[in-house]
Structure formats: structure tokens, C-alpha cells
Amino acid sequence: MGSDDTLLSLDAVTLRDRIAGGALKALDLAEACIVRVQALDSTVQAWTWFDAEFVRHQARTLDSLRLSGRPLGALHGIPVAVKDIIDTARIPTENGTALDSGRVPEQDAAVVQKLKAAGAIIMGKTVTAELAYLHPGKTRNPVNPDHTPGGSSSGSAAAVAAGMVPIAVGTQTGGSIIRPAAFCGTIGYKASFGAIPRTGILTQSPSLDTVGVFARSVEDAALLADVLFGHDPLDRDTVPGPHPRLLHLARSDAPVKPTFALLKTPFWERADGQSRAAIEELAGLLGEYCFEAVLPNAFADAPAIRERINLAEMAKCFYRYEQRGRSSLSPTITGALAAGNAISARDYLAALDWRDVLYAGLAEIFDRCDAILTLSAPGPAPAGLQSTGDSIFNGLWTLCGTPAITLPVFEAENGLPMGVQLVGRRGDDGRLLRTARWLSDYISTSGEDN
């Protein structure tokens, strides 16, 4: 293994600490990432905008800052990829559509401001599905380029999985964090709804849009989310409150061994046999600390409810794109907009009411467990690049606003990764991350024992 490979195998927390202590220069880490991008991106195609000199300039500036003795941010010197629906000042943000080709925002999104304040290196912009919906971008799965990387945060997931960058930011409205992370074999964490501000991010569905992160360890996901969390008066779904210490919580020991609720959901039959067998084997490994839970019948309607909200809000939010150039939009988008325009106000408002009704139906399960254990996707990444895959095991949690994380713990018969998804109470992200880190360690230790 070469020196660059050794460096890029380290987690972001370790890299951050080495840079802060002077054992590693931000420029050396940046160069290693640049080399990896230049070696792999012709195949993976994770980036829609990347400038090596811009990366080097940021790294040199951060190295000078460290030598000055001034305080360092929580992400000092760590390269971060940013999904191309998140505004970056003086850097193109084209939202995956030809209608925004050449668009260069004047101001950073709130999350980019937070990244810069924490000393992160903005590595570049990663590919998104068209307008963060279902029509795929150019990115390929780094494990097998003949398979989809998922979507819509395809570039962010693939860039982390391929080792081009330690951590990345994405968004989820249906399954756009969890599914691509599971398909590409990395960790994907979707925060609780309203935990991370969306100011300066393309609005597709304001009742569902949620920011999340990609990483190679639970601790790295917590490190990045720690920086992004917080209230923003321009995003009315964020609320003032004490800042959770996510990295501290993720690293802490649980007071007792966590308990998990295996939840097959009403859509269990849509999963392939190897995925079902894998999660049942994991439940068996957890033994008495895992019980099977059943959802009320009303949850069978959750996909249709989530889709109704999504499409109705898309029809409003993307009206400007339809007016500017309907012919430049894919049939996937124009079909969704037509469906959204046909939804009545009564049906849309009734769908909104179901979010809290369904979440209340989860209360009894959460009272008995630390996290729900369920599938991240129906199976490994499907072959072909025409689809981003099925979000049937993700949309329910986006609808209910709960935090969710996928861990890359399984491998399919064809060698592709498969994830297991953990879901926590709304707003209890720290506990979910702590439980996820415990489970990741437990599986690793159990594998060593066998």
C-alpha cells in the first residue's frame, strides 16, 4: 500500500487530530485526495466541479493558519465534498439540470458557511440526480461501475466510498442519503428533520428535505454533523436549542447494552432473499437484545402519503423550472410535476397531517428499544444506470422526520455491499449515533471471533 493509500485509509477524526498536532499538513492530505480523484474519477464520475489548484490554495491557507497559533476549527484541514444542490459562493451550483448550467451563487449555503468556519477544505461539487429527484446523473458505483450508485446524492456517496474524500454532505427527501450509501458501501446518516439548516439548498419538498452526511466511520459522521447542526432563523424548521455533542455521544459508552427492534415494515416482500436472510442473521446474533416489532396497518399507506407531499410541493417549488424550459427537463421530472399539479389541496393537507400520526405510532416501539433495526434497501445496487434504485425502506423515516443511519456490514453474493439501517427517535440523534457505533464495533468483534 502506497503512502497516499495509507493516508486515505485513516478516518477523518484521526486526520483532523494529526493536522492539529502538526504531524500532518493539510496540503499533504489534500494532495493525496487530488491524486485519488485524478486516478479514479474518469470511471466513477463523482464530481461535477473539481479544481485541484483551488483545493491546494485552501490547504496552504489552513497550514499557515495553524502555524500562526490561532484556534483551529473542528474540521481544520479536512476535505469535504458538497452535493451540487448546495450553494457555494463563486463556485458553480447547477442542481443537476441544464437549466442551471453556468449558475454561480454569490453566497454560500448555511452548511457551507459552517464548513468553512470549522476549517474544512471544500473539495468540490458532487453529482446529483436532476433537481435531486430520480433521473440519474453520470456517477457510477465505485464497487462495480456497471451498477447504480443510487441517488440523488450519488456523487457524495461514491466520492467517499472511492476514498476520494473522507466525508461529504448530501440531502434526502425520500432515500437520497441512506440508499446510495448502502449501494456504495459507506456510512450514510440522515439527521432528524430540522436539525441542520437548509438555507441556500435547492428546495424540492420543504416538508421532507433533510441534510445528511457520508463517512467511513460513525465517529466521522458525528464529527461532520456536529459542525452542521444548529438553528438558522432563515430555515423555519430549525429551532433554537442546546447544541448536541454528537461526536462525544457517538464515542461514549452506552449505560447498558443497547436493545434493537427488528422492523420488517409492510414492504418486507420487496426485499430480496439475501437481504432478508442477512438482517435476520444479524438479529439472531444480537439474541435477547433484539426483538421483532410490527407496525400498525396504517403504515402500509406511508409511501403514498410521502409521495403525495413530495409531488405537490415539487409542483410548487419547481414551477419556475417548468416555466423557463420544460423541454430541457427529463420525462421523469415533467411527469412528477404533472402528477403534483393534479393533487388537490385537500389531499395534500391531509397527507401533511399523517406525518405526526404515523410518528406517534412508533412511540411504543421506541419506548422498548434504543434503535429500530431494518433494511437500508431491498438489496444490493441494481445493475444498470437507468435507475437510482428503490427507496421503499427509506421514505417512511423521511416522512416521520426521524434520524437514520446505514452501516455497510453485509456483502451480496455478487460482491456488492449491502447496508443495515438504524432509526432513532426524532431529535435523539446522539443516542442513535452511539447505538450505531456500538453495533458497528459489535459486528466487527463478532466477525473476528468467528
Active site residues: 83, 152, 176
List helix spans (H) across 131-200: 154-161, 178-184
The contacts of residue 220 (CB under 8 Å, 6+ apart) are 11, 12, 13, 166, 167, 187
The side-by-side arrangement of strands in the sheet containing 404-411 is 47-49, 121-126, 79-83, 167-172, 210-215, 187-190, 404-411, 417-423, 371-375, 260-263, 290-293
231: left (phi > 0), else alpha (psi -120 to 50), else beta? beta
Determine whether 237 is exposed, middle or buried from the number of CB atoms within 10 Å of its CB (0-12, 13-18, 19+).
middle
Residue with the three cell numbers 406511508: 302
Between CA 195 and CA 143 the distance in angstroms is 31
Residue with the three cell numbers 465517529: 219
SS3 40: helix
CB 61 within 8 A of CB 27: no
Q: Please give the radius of gyration of the chain, using alpha carbons only, rounded to the nearest integer.
A: 21
In the structure grid, which three cell numbers stand for residue 368, read together?
A: 422498548
What is the sign, positive or negative, of the torsion defined by CA atoms of 189, 198, 224, 37? positive
Closest CA to 127 of 65, 82, 167, 172: 82
- Longest CA–CA span in the chain (Å) reads 61
Closest CA to 441 of 185, 218, 226: 218
Closest CA to 80 of 131, 35, 114: 114
What is the sign, positive or negative, of the torsion defined by CA atoms of 310, 311, 315, 321? positive
Between CA 286 and CA 239 the distance in angstroms is 36
The contacts of residue 360 (CB under 8 Å, 6+ apart) are none
Q: What distances in angstroms separate CA 281 from CA 46, 379, 404, 410, 433, one per listed residue?
A: 34, 15, 21, 11, 22
